[in-house]
Structure 1
Amino acid sequence: MRPIHRTAIVIAAATTATALAATAAVTAASGAQSGATDEQPSIVEDYSYPGAAQILADYHVQLISGDGHLLITPCPSPVTGVIVVQSSQTVGQQGDGSVCFRVLGTSGHLTLKIPEVFSIRGDGAAAGQGHKLRAELTTDAGQHSTVDVNPSGTTQVGIGTTPPGAATTLLQLDASA
């Protein structure tokens, strides 16, 4: 072979090797980037309420988290077998201040925000029926209170009490057997 051809072959081989190395580096880098975006979400449950944004838009109620056993539901007519929260605000599916929840199973937990709540009704249809229910509330001044709700009746809170108390925001509901 002539020296010029040999030099050209060596240069061509070096150029090809450099191009292959650069391509491999770009491929590895893009694989690492796509691997970062293709990672699976954490399997740790954060208990955030599914569909909370849509519920806020439809019911004007902020559902934050729960265990999946205490679910917002349209209020039936007549209202039986559900927990009914009454507010002086325009909340609920009909905007009439009524928000209903159904307990699935023996217990349930829900963290939420419903402003200006004045009564909470248990889900029992008759005396001695219904889930034990505990409600955590707060006032605008930051006074927290916990109320045991009558399982088969209505419990007045905040401005619904006699004499009327301060307006309260419902923060948490806990139901048990």
Structure 2
Amino acid sequence: MASGSLLVAGIAVAADPGTNGSASSGKTADTAMPSTVETFDYPDAAKILKEKNLKLKRGDGHIVLAECGSAPNLMQFIGRDQDDFCFRTIGDNGYLSLEVPAVAGVQTTDHTAHINMTVDDKTKSYDIGKNDFRGIGETTDPEGRNHTLVEIRTAK
């Protein structure tokens, strides 16, 4: 083995020649670069839940909450126990996970949407075309069970 190297648990570790054989870089945890990990959590989710009763979880930033009627090309959801709510889609594709109970309809504009809802621990999916209005969830369920909106995927 070459001078200036250590054998640790069967792994060769090159030592810094300026540290007398020590494998330390001389940096402390205080001077090392901080680690940044993107979680894709929805910004201000707690505030939105409190103010609008919409539990927005994670997304790619291409489906964002918007005031209904504030712009053209919004995707609008109709809820039974709450006011309608809308999302603006940015770019060609988008993803958002959320948890909103009692959603009964959706209207799309310039994007198609793939909607996932849950009912009785089962997933029900809906494919909605561009410029379409469709009943979803309990409005399409023969038993009228309460469905929860859990995922939106959009495409141009």
Q: TM-score range, shorter-chain basis?
A: 0.7 to 0.9
Cα distance in 2 for partners of 1:117, 1:64 equals 17
Which runs of 5 or more structure 2 residues have no equivalent in the other structure? 1-27
Considering fraction of residues, name the structure with more helix. 1
**Structure 1 vs Structure 2: percent identity of aligned residues?**
27
Q: What TM-score results when the alignment is normalised by the length of structure 2?
A: 0.74
Which runs of 5 or more structure 1 residues have no equivalent in the other structure? 1-31, 91-95, 125-129
Q: Does 1:103 align with 2:82?
A: no
Match of 2:67 in 1: 74
Deviation at 1:131, TM superposition (A): 0.7
Give the total of aligned pairs. 129
Equivalent residue for 1:84, pick from 64, 76, 90: 76
Code of the aligned partner of 1:133: A
Match of 2:152 in 1: 173
Cα distance in 1 for partners of 2:133, 2:44 equals 28
Match of 2:18 in 1: none
Q: What TM-score results when the alignment is normalised by the length of structure 1?
A: 0.66
Q: CA RMSD in A?
A: 2.2
Match of 2:30 in 1: 35
Larger Rg: 1
SS of the counterpart of 2:102? strand
Runs of 4+ in structure 1 deviating by more than 6 angstroms, as ranges, are: none
Match of 1:65 in 2: 58
Deviations 1:89-139 (CA, angstroms, capped at 9, x unpaired): 22xxxxx2x0100001111100001101110111x2xxxxx2111000001
